[in-house]
Amino acid sequence: MQQRSRATVDALVEATARILVKEGFEKASTNRIAEIAGVSVGSLYQYFPSKEALVAAVIERHNEEIMAIVRTALTEIADLPIDKAVRKLVTVAIEAHRINPKLHRVLAEQIPRTGQLKDVEAFNREVHTLVRTYLESRRKEMRKVDVDVATFICVSAIESVAHNTVLNHAEMLSEKTVRTLVEETTRMVVGYLRQ
């Protein structure tokens, strides 16, 4: 029974994601989602009270996928010097944002509507805490700078490049372009930390 419930929830979340990407938020109705998922509308309402709750579940799942990659990367950079660590973070940020970029674009537009900003803020706090811990451990490699300010600037710069690259140019991203973006963003962030 529990396994069937999990399968139903997964089917509903997947169907919601597909509809959001192909048809947009406005055309995603609970009837359409249930149809695509292959379940009755009654079953849908057993698990989700509204379309917004389904979108919230899609956002949560997408954010968890991204955060799993980011957490792993932040663990892997613990012993790396700043230039290698920043390069890894930039690479991972772009890779994480490339997980279903069309869905990422739709969700970026829908997060405020669904009331999921608090969850996104929790992820952001976690990233800031992890990056701050790393920077604190590398103080000797950095110029004299407030670690909280440095954390904010580094995370914001990396996130902005990754986010805007994927949201605005996902279809045009060649591997060469990604390498160039990684190199230039790394140069910018490392330069800030060291000069």
Q: Are residues 156 and 100 in the same domain?
A: yes
pLDDT-derived band at 144 (thresholds 50, 70, 90) equals very high
Domain that holds residue 175: 58-194
- The tokens of 45 are what? 């309402």
Q: 63 and 131: one domain?
A: yes
DSSP for 151-173?
HHHHHHHHHHHHHHHHHHHGGG-
pLDDT digit string (tens) for 40-53? 999 999 999 998 88
Each residue's pLDDT tens digit, 80-130: 999 999 999 999 988 887 777 778 777 777 656 656 556 667 788 888 999
Supply the pTM of this predicted model: 0.79
96 and 33 co-located in one domain: no
Q: Which amino acid is at 175?
A: E
CATH number for the domain harbouring residue 34: 1.10.10.60
The CATH number for 103's domain is 1.10.357.10
Distance CA 39, CA 121 (A): 33
Verify that 101 and 147 share a domain, yes or no.
yes
In this structure, are 44 and 65 located in the same domain?
no
Residues 63 and 151 in one domain: yes
